């Protein structure tokens, strides 16, 4: 081979178009007449757009952030209170959300949009977690994306010191107050060898509201959009 031959770059990847493709593919997960759990972030906002006027007919949604609730209402989709839905014994068959990173076991880092706590609550209330991502979110090992930790403001330094003791470098997300009135520490440098064990450890510290590891309950299915098309991967034991 001519060592000076130029390798032509492929066509540029439009990440937004990939996010929309993943969002559109998730429409078939929506159960007509049931309430759908809706996450947060730009991919989810595209999912809400696709839901609006699409063929899927959910009864409404429970939402994981004020922003998603606004978008849902603007799209004419009723937003239900989670407590009321559960008290009435209604089913929540599916939760649709994005991720900042997802690994081969469908463990995730979430919280780039600071909605991690409500995302974990709504995900826990739903029967099936369908994660929608463009291929750039897929990693062999979690940890390149800074790990968000939502903390009670008065516990910020206490939690930061414990994160440093684990080898992490926490940074306060400037100017961000979560929907729950709390702060976010973004942590780099942690060794995430065992995501579920780290999630359990950090979640138990006083002052931690939620760590952005979703490993004890990861996704059941991930819908990945790439230049090659749509790929679905299921967690072991989950329906594809
Ligand atoms: C918000 C989240 C989002 O799912 C995550 O940040 C991915 O966002 P996007 O779809 O904008 O890439 O966890 O807290």
Which pLDDT tens digit goes with each residue over 102-146? Answer: 999 999 999 999 999 999 999 999 999 999 999 999 999 999 999
Alpha-carbon 222 to chain mean position: 11
Give 15-70 pLDDT, tens digit per residue.
999 999 999 999 999 999 999 999 999 999 999 999 997 888 899 999 999 999 99
The yes-or-no verdict on residue 230 having pLDDT over 60 is yes
Residue 2 lies in a domain: no
Contact 23, 56 (CB under 8 A): no
186 lines ligand 1 (CB under 6 A): no
Q: From residue 190, how far is each of 160, 174, 195, 201 by CA, in Å?
A: 13, 21, 11, 13
The mean per-residue pLDDT over the stretch 196-221 comes to: 98
61 and 27 in one domain? Answer: yes
For residues 20 and 85, membership in a common domain is answered with yes
228 and 128 within one domain:
yes
Please, are residues 49 and 70 in contact by the beta-carbon 8 Å criterion? Answer: no
Tokens for 106?
A: 């469908």
Q: Collect all residues with Cβ–Cβ distance below 8 Å to 4 and sequence separation of at least 6.
A: none
Statement to judge: residues 35 and 78 lie in one domain: yes
Which positions are annotated as active-site residues?
119
d(CA 222, CA 102): 9
* Rounded Cα–Cα distance for residues 123 and 129 (Å): 6
At 79, which CATH number?
Answer: 3.40.50.1360
In whole angstroms, what is the distance from residue 239 CA to residue 205 CA? Answer: 34
**Is there a domain that residue 198 lies in?**
yes
Looking at the domain assignment, is residue 240 inside a domain?
Answer: no
Atom of ligand 1 nearest to the CA of 114: 14
Q: Identify whether residues 38 and 155 lie together within a single domain.
A: no
The protein residue whose alpha carbon is closest to atom 4 in ligand 1 is 98
* pLDDT value, residue 240: 83
Asked whether 147 lines ligand 1 (CB < 6 A), one says no
Report if residue 4 sits inside a domain. no
3 assigned to some structural domain = no
In terms of domains, do 126 and 26 share one?
Answer: yes
Phi, psi of 194 (to 5 degrees): -130, 90
Q: Are residues 165 and 82 in the same domain?
A: no
The Cα 112–Cα 186 span in angstroms is 9
Q: Left (φ > 0), alpha (ψ -120 to 50) or beta: where does 45 sit?
A: alpha
Query: Strand, coil or helix: what is 200?
Result: helix
- Note whether 38 and 53 are same-domain residues: yes
Q: Can you give the CATH number for the domain in which 192 is found?
A: 3.30.70.260
Q: 136 C-alpha to center of ligand 1: Å?
A: 13
101-102: strand order across its sheet = 101-102, 108-109, 213-214
Residue 7 alpha carbon to ligand 1 centre in Å: 34
- In a domain, residue 7? The reply is no
Q: In b/e form, how buried is each residue of 55-88, taking b as 16+ CB within 10 angstroms?
A: eeebebbbbbbebbbebbeebebebbebeebeee
Q: Report yes or no on 182 lying in a domain.
A: yes
Tell whether 131 and 176 lie within a shared domain: no
Average pLDDT, the chain: 95
The residue segments making up the domain with residue 208 are 147-213
Domain count, the chain: 2
> What is the three-state SS of 93-136?
CEEEECCCEECCCCCEECCCCCCHHHHHHHHHHCCCEEEEEEHH
Q: What is the pLDDT of residue 237?
A: 84
Distance 113 CA to ligand 1 centre (A): 5
207 and 222 housed in the same domain: no
Q: How far is CA 73 from the centre of its chain?
A: 21
The reported pLDDT for the residue numbered 25 is: 97
Residues making up the chain, counted from first to last: 240
- Same domain for 168 and 129, yes or no, is no
- 24/88 same-domain check: yes
In a domain, 175, yes or no: yes
């Amino acid at each position: 081979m001519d060592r000076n031959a130029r390798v032509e770059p492929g066509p540029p990847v439009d990440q937004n178009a990939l996010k929309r493709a993943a969002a559109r593919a998730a429409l078939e997960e929506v159960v007509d007449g049931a309430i759908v759990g809706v996450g947060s972030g730009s991919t989810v906002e595209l999912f809400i757009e696709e839901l609006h006027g699409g063929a899927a007919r959910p009864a409404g949604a429970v939402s994981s952030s004020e922003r998603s609730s606004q978008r849902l209402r603007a799209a004419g989709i009723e937003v239900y209170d989670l407590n009321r839905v559960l008290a009435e014994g209604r089913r929540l068959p599916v939760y649709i959300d994005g991720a900042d990173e997802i690994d081969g076991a469908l463990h995730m880092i979430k919280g780039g949009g600071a909605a991690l706590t409500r995302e974990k609550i709504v995900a826990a209330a739903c029967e099936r977690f369908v994660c929608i991502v463009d291929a750039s979110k897929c990693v062999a090992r979690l940890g390149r994306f800074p790990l968000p930790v939502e903390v009670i403001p008065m516990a910020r330094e206490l939690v930061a010191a414990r994160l440093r003791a684990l080898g992490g470098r926490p940074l306060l997300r400037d100017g961000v107050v979560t929907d729950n009135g709390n702060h976010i520490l973004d942590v780099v440098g942690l060794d995430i060898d065992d995501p579920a064990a780290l999630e359990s450890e950090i979640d138990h510290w006083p002052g931690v509201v939620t760590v952005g590891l979703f490993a004890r309950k990861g996704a059941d299915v991930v819908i990945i959009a790439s230049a090659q098309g749509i790929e679905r991967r299921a967690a072991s034991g989950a329906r594809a």
